[in-house]
Structure 1
Amino acid sequence: MAEHRIRALALCVFHHNGKILFNEFRDPVSQQTCFRPVGGGIEFGETSAETIVREVQEELGLSMTDMRLLGTLESLFVYNGKPGHEIVQVYDATFVDRSVYAHPQIEGHESNGAPFTARWHASSSFSELAPLVPKGLHALLKSAGLLA
C-alpha cells in the first residue's frame, strides 16, 4: 500500500485582458474536466518562488517577471480514484515576452514529457462541473481582482 503524504505545490496565474492561463484536464475516473494554472511540485531546498521560475521555464520555455504571492491554499481531493492532499502557494506573474499574450494557447510539456496545451480562459469557462483547482482558487483569484 502506498504511503499517503502531503505534497507541496507552487502554481502561477498569468492574466491578460480578463483571462487567465490554465491547463485543462480530465479526471480519468470521474471524467470531470478541471482547470489548473501552470506549476508543479516544490523540490527539497527550493523555495516556492524558485519552483515557479523552474516549472514555467521547463514546461513552457518562458521567462517571467513581477512575481507576487497571492496566497496559500490547502487542497484535499480525489483524482484518478485516489485521495490527495496538497499545500499550494499561488503566485501571479507576467511573461517577459509580451507576444505570448497574443496567442490563444501555449504548447507545453510536463516533466515526464507528456504534452499539454495551456489556454486563456475567462471566468465564464468555469462551473461546478468544470471547476478551477485546487479548491478555493476561484475565490482567491476573485479577491485578488483577477477574476470577475
Structure 2
Amino acid sequence: MAKRKIRPIAICLFRQGDRILVHEGYDATKGEAFCRPLGGGIDFGETSQQAIAREIQEELGAEITHIQLLGILESIFTYNGEPMHELVFVYDAEFVDSAWYQQEAVQVTEGKRQFEARWRSLSELSGTHICLVPEQLWELL
C-alpha cells in the first residue's frame, strides 16, 4: 500500500462586507454539501503566497493584491470515502479589478473542470446545511 501524504494547500478569503467567495461541493459518500474558499495546491519550490496568487490567476484569470496570511490550519477529514490530510494556508486578499465584487457568481476553471463560485454571507453559511470547510476556518473569520 502506498504511503499517504499530507497535501499543502493555500486558500483565500475574499471578503465583500459580510460575504465571502466560496465554491460548493458535494461528498456523495456522506451525502453532505460543503463549501470552501478558492485556492489549491502548493507546488514544489513556491511559497504559499505565490501559490494563492497563481491559483487565483489560473482559476479566474484575476490578479490579486494585499495578500496577507491569516493563519495555518491542519485539516484531517474524509472525502468520498478517502482519508485526507491537508495543511491549509489561509490568506486574505483583494481583487485588483473591483468588478469581481459586483458579480453574484463567477466561473472557475480548474484544469478541464469548470464550476461556479458564489458570494455567500457568513450568516447564510452558518444557518444552512452547507458546511464551510475546513471547519476551523470559522476561527479566522
Q: Equivalences for 1:1-148 in 2 at 5 Å? A: 1-111=1-111, 113-127=112-126, 129-141=129-141
Moved >4 Å (runs of 4+) = none
- Normalized per residue, which structure has more strand? 2
* Identity within the alignment, %: 47
Separation (CA, whole Å) in 1 of partners of 2:2 and 2:80 = 15
- 1:114-144 per-residue CA deviation (whole Å, 9 max, x = no partner) reads 1110100011222484211112001211xxx
Separation in 2 of the partners of 1:73 and 1:97?
Answer: 29
Q: CA deviation at 1:39?
A: 0.4
Count of residue pairs the alignment pairs up = 140
TM normalised by structure 2 equals: 0.94
Normalised to the residue count of structure 1, the TM-score between the two structures is 0.90
The one-letter amino acid of 1:123's match is L
- CA-atom RMSD in angstroms: 1.2
1:62 to partner: Cα distance: 0.4
Task: Give unpaired runs (5+ residues) of structure 1.
Answer: 142-148
